[in-house]
Amino acid sequence: MKANCWFGKHDVQVVDVPDPKILNQHDTIVKISSTAICGSDLHLYNALVPTMEKGDILGHEFMGEVVETGGAVKKLKTGDRVVVSFPISCGNCFFCQRELFSLCENTNPNAWIAEKFFGHSPAGIYGYTHMLGGFAGGQAQYVRVPFADVGTIKIPENLSDEQVLFLSDIFPTGYMAAENCNIQPGDTIAVWGCGPVGQFAMKSAFLLGAERVVGIDRFPYRMDIARKKIDAEVINYEECDVYETLMDMTGGLGPDACIDAVGMEAHVPGVIGAYDRAKQAMMLETDRPHALRQAILACRKGGTVSVPGVYGGFDDKIPLGAMMNKALTFKTGQTHVQHYFEPLLKRIGNGEIDPSFVITHRMALEDAPTGYDLFLNKENDCLKVVLKPQ
């Protein structure tokens, strides 16, 4: 089959690789119909994350058709159309039973590496380093899906791929970030970053009852999408002082909750070996640690700072004094995608949200290298690339 593979910094190539096989009775093989490039894939593309190996198949946002099932798979059968969650979860451990799926104890065969960095390992993730399991990703024609009964949701025929694909990651990720804000009627929610996760965090904040949502970014085309598709107010941080502007907008109180949808994916797991290099590169990119610092300083007293996605854990710029003295609540975590599958599919089915609004580019799987370049460089107003295997 064809797959988009990592070969090093700014080097991904679509090459021929062996087809995946059922390795475990809980596996299925899915024929990919749509897959996407995630912001966190760009950090692999920038070679900022250790434990990638040449030839690793990328991609953790994908969906398709079940073409083969292992003997222990109960829920799925050949021909089912499914979206797959980016964390791989067993469904039975202490964490899975509490629906904390991204913390699954049983799906990272290389947990010992992650334990060195974090004390404990999160779940395995598709196409995302050997430290997180070394699983082949879904930017390919086929993928092996372990624990398929737990990690998939069946999709009704009346919904298109583009409407449901982002149930795999960015819609639940933005939604969980907003849910973590414990939104009350009348609340103002500020979101740093108008990338795909930021867009879903903003939209979700409205779905959960926020009165005002403010998006903070520097790319006019991304702010336009937030304004036009979501009705968010926007702040260009290159044109004004973010703290002063937010205080003006909120009568000096500050936003009730602040979501950092910029920094988390920049600090992808295990940057300890590449700490200085990563830190330097992040400063060059988009002031990422700065966004979280701003969020903490701007948040109203007693408010919540919500950080979706992944931090490396080595950021030394977090103003803990402000967090403590303002009695802030800090909520974070990799997304428990499977927990959100059913309720968010329902919201899509009801027409409360059409997640396809973030898609700006559609291309063949073979054009993945072009997609990575466009997304990295924010060319052609690129917000989200969807790849279609032939």
> Binding residues for Zn ion, per CB under 5 A?
38, 40, 89-90, 93, 96, 104, 106, 169
* Integer Cα distance of 42 and 57 in angstroms: 14
CB of 298 to Zn ion, least distance (A): 26
Q: Is 369 left (phi over 0), alpha (psi -120 to 50) or beta?
A: alpha
Q: Is 228 left (phi over 0), alpha (psi -120 to 50) or beta?
A: alpha
Output 37 or 235, the one with its CB closest to Zn ion.
Answer: 37
CB of 270 to Zn ion, least distance (A): 17
Q: Position of tokens 């070394």?
A: 134
CB of 335 to Zn ion, least distance (A): 9
Cα dihedral value 98, 269, 53, 362, nearest 10:
80
Query: Where do runs of H (alpha helix) occur along 214-268?
Result: 220-230, 242-249
CB of 61 to Zn ion, least distance (A): 5
CB of 271 to Zn ion, least distance (A): 17
By C-alpha distance, which of 245, 216, 41, 247 is closest to 139? 41
Output 169 or 179, the one with its CB closest to Zn ion.
Answer: 169
* Integer Cα distance of 268 and 237 in angstroms: 24
Output 22 or 104, the one with its CB closest to Zn ion.
Answer: 104
Residue with CB nearest Zn ion?
Answer: 38
Output 26 or 300, the one with its CB closest to Zn ion.
Answer: 26
Output 38 or 191, the one with its CB closest to Zn ion.
Answer: 38
Output 89 or 108, the one with its CB closest to Zn ion.
Answer: 89
**Helix (H) or strand (E) segment spanning residue 370:** helix 368-377
CB of 92 to Zn ion, least distance (A): 6
